[in-house]
Structure 1
Amino acid sequence: MHSTTPTLNSLFAQLGLDSSDQDISRFIHQHKLAAGMAIQDAPFWNSAQASFLRESLKQDADWCEVIDELNALLH
């Protein structure tokens, strides 16, 4: 259980990605989702990352809000 609300930085760390503000900005500029593509189906995730996103959204986990934020930034 998380004691704080997840952030983009903590989501990137959870996904095993570089999680500084600069790294996140670079990632967002380098990766875009096609209209209508679900974030968990993006081709740039490895299978573990996609599975984490899919399960978090399915379980309406604490991560959902920040995953939705990332989804908006990638569209």
Structure 2
Amino acid sequence: MIRHVESLRRTYIVVTLISLCSKLLAVMWWTLAVNQLTERTLDPAGSVWEILQRDVNLERAAVNSHCVVGLIGFMYMVGLRG
């Protein structure tokens, strides 16, 4: 029983660190995407969606994936604490 509790504590710490780092990375990627959109001259496009797909697709994918990883980690932490 004590080994099980100790392994859950270690898992909790690791998941917390991964979740926090993932959320920080999401903020960093989003900042890069906003800076990229505001600081350079973009070619004309038919819609905002076209600009996002053409110019910031990597950043958008990074933000989405890191947000999901952070949320999964947060749900795991809440479930473990419960």
TM-score, length basis structure 2: 0.26
Q: Which has the higher contact order (CA 8 A, sep 6+)?
A: 2
Q: Point out the structure with the larger helix share.
A: 2
TM-score, length basis structure 1: 0.28
